[in-house]
């Protein structure tokens, strides 16, 4: 039978495997918006800072920001990581997030989704299991940029990037088939949570 110190060490390892890191994906070019969306303000707060706060309030630690190589940083108080696959869109950001994390799961949140709150990620976390994350689905498809992924998804993401396959929808489909994510139904009444800011008109609605 393990002695007390061994049991304590095992308990600490178990806690470590239950950790969730957070990643704010803020590496887009913001062409339609005409300026860096991460620096736009919502409720008097910069979007990037709001998303960091949301993830922390949901229990994610550490939380970092994913940017494209060469983009300016968004704050010295939050660690940054950069895409290693250039010009590969959000899938490259997901790859960078999963590569940087040392936790069992990574909660990913796009910087341009200001209606997502901490309760959203706490709900998703309730569906996660060891090696399995959670992604919401509604009538229009999956919501892969406000989701929780297991670190085990990294290999599948890397393979798709190497084949120049960038579809997040197809990635989530494959992960679900491989039992790496659980699909959570999003009711039509909650679709407002998934609104994003792509153009100036979207910002006015916010």
- For residue 4, is it within any domain? no
Domain that holds residue 163: 11-205
Q: Which residue has the tokens 């609104």?
A: 195
* Sign of the CA dihedral running 67, 72, 76, 77: negative
- For residue 23, is it within any domain? yes
Give 52-99 as a 3 state SS string: HHHHHHCCCCCEEEEECCCCCCCCCCCCEEECCCCCCCHHHHHHHHHH
- For residue 3, is it within any domain? no
Q: Kindly report the CATH number assigned to the domain that includes residue 133.
A: 3.90.550.10
- For residue 5, is it within any domain? no
Query: In the predicted model, what is the mean pLDDT of residues 82-101?
Result: 91
pLDDT band at 84 (very low <50, low <70, confident <90, very high): confident
Query: In the predicted model, what is the mean pLDDT of residues 167-186?
Result: 96
- For residue 31, is it within any domain? yes
- For residue 181, is it within any domain? yes
| Total tally of structural domains belonging to the chain | 1
This prediction has a pTM of: 0.84
Query: In the predicted model, what is the mean pLDDT of residues 147-153?
Result: 97
Q: Is the pLDDT of residue 117 over 90?
A: yes
pLDDT value at residue 110: 94
Give Dmax over CA atoms of the chain in angstroms: 65
- For residue 1, is it within any domain? no
8 A C-beta contact, residue 83 and residue 28: no
- For residue 110, is it within any domain? yes
The per-residue pLDDT for range 4-58, each reduced to its tens digit, is 344 434 433 433 444 999 999 987 655 555 457 888 888 889 999 999 999 999 9
In degrees rounded to 5, what are phi and psi of residue 201? -65, -35
pLDDT band at 172 (very low <50, low <70, confident <90, very high): very high
């Amino acid at each position: 039978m393990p002695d007390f110190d061994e049991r304590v060490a095992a308990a600490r390892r178990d806690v470590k495997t239950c950790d969730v890191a957070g990643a704010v994906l803020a590496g887009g070019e913001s062409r339609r918006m005409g300026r860096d969306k991460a620096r736009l303000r919502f409720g008097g707060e910069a979007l990037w800072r709001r998303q960091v706060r949301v993830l922390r309030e949901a229990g994610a630690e550490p939380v970092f920001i994913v940017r494209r190589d060469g983009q300016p940083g968004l704050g010295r108080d939050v660690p940054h990581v950069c895409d290693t696959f250039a010009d590969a869109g959000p899938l490259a950001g997901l790859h960078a997030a999963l590569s940087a994390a040392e936790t069992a799961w990574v909660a990913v949140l796009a910087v341009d989704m200001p209606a997502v709150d901490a309760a959203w990620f706490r709900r998703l976390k309730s569906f996660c299991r060891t090696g399995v994350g959670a992604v919401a689905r509604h009538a229009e498809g999956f919501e892969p940029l406000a989701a929780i992924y297991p670190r085990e998804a990294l290999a599948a993401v890397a393979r798709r990037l190497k084949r120049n396959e960038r579809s997040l929808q197809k990635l989530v489909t494959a992960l679900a088939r491989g039992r790496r994510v659980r699909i959570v139904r999003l009711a039509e009444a909650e679709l407002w949570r998934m609104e994003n800011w792509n153009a100036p008109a979207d910002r006015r609605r916010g």
